[in-house]
Structure 1
Amino acid sequence: MSDCLRWWLEWGAQQALLQAVEAETGQCPAALSAQPELQPDSLRWWQAFHDLSPSRPAGWGPAPIPVSEILAYAELLGFDAADRPFLLQMIRACDAVWLAWQAERDKERPHE
C-alpha cells in the first residue's frame, strides 16, 4: 500500500490527465504504466488513511495523525477490537510515507 501512496502523492492529481493522454494517443504514459495496483483487501485501510489525513494538528510543519484520531475513527466506524491494532499499524505506515514525502517537498521549496 505504501507504493500506491507514493504514486498517488506524486501523480494522483494528474491521473485524469494521464488517462486522457492515453485515450487520445493510444500510448500509456510512463507514469500511468508505473501505477501500482491497490489490492481490494487494502481499500479499507486506504480509505481510512485518506479520511484521517486532514485530522493532522496544525502547527509549524507537517505532523503525524494523532493516535487519538485513529482510535476515534475506529470507534466511530465500528472497527472490531481485533482490527484496531492493524488499523493503527497501517495508518502509521502510510503516515510515515506521507511525512517523508512532505519533508522532501519542503526541502525543494525555496525558504524565504
Structure 2
Amino acid sequence: MKYLPILFVLLSASPVAGAASFDCQKAKAADERAICAHLTLNDKDVEMATQYRFLKGLLAMGARGALQDAQQSWLSQRRRCQGSVTCLNRAYDKRLGQLKALYDAIDKPL
C-alpha cells in the first residue's frame, strides 16, 4: 500500500511529457506548449527533429550550414504560430516536405 502514491504519480504523468524534441517540462512559449499538449503535433515534432538530425549528418559542411540556417528560420516562423494548432500543423507539414525534398535530392549510392 505504501507504493500506491508513487504508482498514481507514474500513471498520471503525461505520456507526451518528454517525447517532443525539447523538454516539455520546460516549455514556456505558446508554440511549445501546444506541441506538448497535442499528440499529433508532438509526433510531427519528433519526426521533423529526427529527419533534421539525419540530414545534418549526411550533408557536407556548406550544405549543413545552410540547413541549420533554414531550420532556425523555420523555428522563428513556427514561433509566430503561437498556440494555433492549425498553423502549427501546416508549418510542420511544410517543413517535413522540405526536408524530404532535400533528402530526395541527395545523390545516394545504389
Normalising to structure 1: TM-score of the pair?
0.30
Larger radius of gyration: 2
